[in-house]
Amino acid sequence: MNAKSTLQARGIAAVRILMGAVFLYAGLDKTLFAAKAFDASGFLKFATLGATSSSAAGAVVNPTHDFWVSLASNAGLMSVINILVPYGELAIGIALIVGLFTRFSALMGVIMVSMFFFASWDFSVNYLNSDAVYVIATAIVGIAGAGEVFGLDGVLHRSTFLTQHPALRFVAGLLG
């Protein structure tokens, strides 16, 4: 590896670990640090109105608002969502930090944060909000297969396990 590619590898590894920390903290905040059990129904019912720079307070501008409210009114689905969100964040965060099955965990992170992006629909200041930046950064981590650099995907790459299970190579973030 030359100096430029080494620096690039370290940079993408740093982004992978940073995004992992973002997901991990979000999951910990909803599980260990929370005063009460996580419940997304309040957010889905009341925080999905959306906003634009010209919208009146309380106006529904989010075209997906009715979908989120319908999810919140389904008790069975909410019990699944209330588990998937915090524990999904924890799993994605840990996987990205250690660089294990990076492509899969990044894909799950992109799907999760994309849903947050469309649910919140807050374009009152700018269309590029923090959720959009998280989606872009997590997608780059997955596309780059960033777990091979300073991650367990690199260990898997050198192991015989993936030789015996070649279908897992892409999930692990390995192209070669």
Mean pLDDT of 81-89: 98
- Sequence-separated (6 or more) residues with CB below 8 Å from residue 156: 100, 162, 168, 172, 174
Bridge partners (DSSP) listed for residue 123: 52
Query: Taking the complete model, does pTM exceed 0.95, yes or no?
Result: no
Question: Which pLDDT score, from 0 to 100, does residue 155 have?
Answer: 87
Do the Cβ atoms of 99 and 150 come closer than 8 Å?
Answer: yes
